[in-house]
Amino acid sequence: METKKFSVPNITCGHCVMTIQRELGEIDGVKKVEGDPTAKEINVEWAAPATLEKIKSTLEEINYPAAD
């Protein structure tokens, strides 16, 4: 199980967090997605077959790219 905090500057409200939770939750292996719209951060917990690359590419596809 891996966990990572992502900084996502495009988050502006709770609806943004809900969208991210829904989209990342559809990836096989993603166990938990929590977000904080005030801090513009999300925490993702996952295991195989999910990968860091898949999570980051999904965030880009839905217009919430993670800042490096």
CA dihedral 58, 24, 17, 59 (to 10 degrees): -10
Answer CATH for 2-61 from 3.30.70.100, 3.30.565.10, 3.50.50.60, 3.40.50.740: 3.30.70.100
Structure pTM? 0.93
Q: Would the pLDDT of 68 be above 90?
A: no
Per-residue pLDDT, 43: 98
Per-residue pLDDT, 2: 97
**For residue 25, how many C-alpha atoms fall within 13 Å in the half-sphere facing its CB?**
10
Residues 10-67 have pLDDT tens digits of 999 999 999 999 999 999 999 999 999 999 999 999 999 999 999 999 999 999 999 9
Per-residue pLDDT, 37: 97
